[in-house]
Amino acid sequence: MNILITGGGGFIGSRLAAALRKKHPDARIRLLDVGFPNPPGKSFDCTTGDLAAPEVIASALGHDTDAVFHLAAVVSGGAEADFDLGYRVNLDGTRALLEGCRKLARPPRLVFASSVAAFGGTLPDVLDDSTTPAPQTSYGTQKVISEYLVADFTRKGMIDGRSLRLPTIVVRPGKPNLAASSFASGIIREPLAGAVSECPVPDTTGVWILSPRRVVEAFVHALELPSSVWPTTRVVNLPGITLTVREMIDAMGRVAGRETAERVKFKPDPRIQAIVRTWPVRFRTERADAMGFKADPDFESIVRDHIESEKAAATA
C-alpha cells in the first residue's frame, strides 16, 4: 500500500503516520508539509513544499498512491486573519490535490479532514446529519466547498472520497497555534505543565470535543470502511462530547488537583469570541455511530491520555 498524508509534519499527521506504520509495516508512507520541525524517521518519505503547487503535489503523489489523508490547512484564526492565504491553501490546495489524484493510475481512497466550522448562523439546539452547513468564517467556508469537491470527484469516479467533520481536538501538545480553538487545549496543556493559561472566552462557552487518540482512530477507520456505507454527500459528523470551559477545567482539577485548575485565568478576546460563538456545540451523530466511529467516554480520560503521552514523549 502507498499512502500520502498532507500535513504530515503536524501533530495529528505525525500521529496518524505512526499509527499507519504500526498497522501497515510494509506500506510506503509519504508525508507532505511546508516543514518538518520534528523529523519523522527513516521509515517515512518526506516532501517539503507548497500544497497549492501542482509540481509539489505530483512529486508527493507519484503514480501509484492508493490512499490519501488530506489534513493540511491554514487553521481557523489564520484563515480569518489572512483571507488570501486561507483560500490559496485550504481551497486551491485541495483542488490541486484532487487534480493530482485524478491523474493517478487508479482512483485512490481519500480521507479529508473537514470541520464542524462548516456550521454556523441560526442553529438548532442539537445538530444532526440533516443540518445544512452555513459557515460563518472563511475557514468553514473553505472546508464546505472542499467537501463538495470531494463528493463531486467521487461521483465522477476520480477518487473514493470520505470527509470527516472534526470536533475541536483536545489536548494538542506543543505551542499554541492560530486556531481559534487553541484555547481549548491551552487551558489544559499549560496548567498541567505548571504554567498559567489565559482563556479568551467565558467559562460558560461550550465546545464539541474529541481526543487526539480518537481522531487518529477515526481517520484509520474511515479509510478502511467500504465505499458502499458512505452517504451520497461522502461526509459525516464525527462523534464527540460536549463540555463547557468550566467543566473542562473542573475535570482537569479532579485528575491533577485544584491548584492545577487554578492556573487558568480569564482574559477576554473579542476576536476569538466572535469566531467561537458561531460554532455548534451539540450533535446527534447517528450516521457516524452506525458506521463505527467512537467518541471519548469522558473528559477525565482525555486529560489522563495527555499526561501519559507527555510522559512517553519526555522519555523517548
SS3 266: strand
Mean local confidence (pLDDT), 156-185: 90
Strand positions, DSSP E, 43-92: 45-48, 67-70
Q: Given this model, what pLDDT does residue 121 score?
A: 87
Q: Work out whether strand 168-169 and strand 206-210 pair parallel, antiparallel, or are unpaired.
A: parallel
Question: Residue 314 — pLDDT band, cuts 50, 70, 90?
Answer: confident
pLDDT(178) > 70:
no
Same fold, 2-167+211-237 and 182-207+241-281+296-315: no
72-93 residue pLDDT tens: 999 888 898 999 999 999 999 9
Q: Given this model, what pLDDT does residue 207 score?
A: 94
Instruction: For domain 182-207+241-281+296-315, give the CATH superfamily.
Output: UDP-galactose 4-epimerase, domain 1 (3.90.25.10)
102-154 residue pLDDT tens: 999 999 999 999 999 999 888 899 999 999 999 999 999 999 999 999 999 99
Domain ranges of the chain: 2-167+211-237, 182-207+241-281+296-315
**CATH 3.30.1330.60 corresponds to the domain 2-167+211-237:** no
The secondary structure of residue 195, as a DSSP letter, is -
Q: Given this model, what pLDDT does residue 315 score?
A: 78
pLDDT(23) > 70:
yes
Per annotation, catalytic residue among 69, 87, 119, 139: 139
Mean local confidence (pLDDT), 53-61: 93
Question: Residue 61 — pLDDT band, cuts 50, 70, 90?
Answer: very high
Q: Given this model, what pLDDT does residue 179 score?
A: 74
25-48 residue pLDDT tens: 999 999 999 988 887 878 899 999
Q: Torsion over CA of 78, 32, 53 and 227, rounded to 10 degrees?
A: -90
pLDDT(316) > 70:
no
Counting every residue written for the chain, the total comes to 316
Is 139 one of the catalytic residues? yes
Which H helix or E strand runs over 39? Answer: none
Q: Which residues contact 122 (CB under 8 A, 6 or more apart)?
A: none
Alpha-carbon gap, residue 84 to 65, rounded angstroms: 30
Average pLDDT of the chain is 94
pTM over 0.75: yes
Mean local confidence (pLDDT), 296-314: 93
CA atoms in the 13 A half-sphere facing the CB of 267: 9
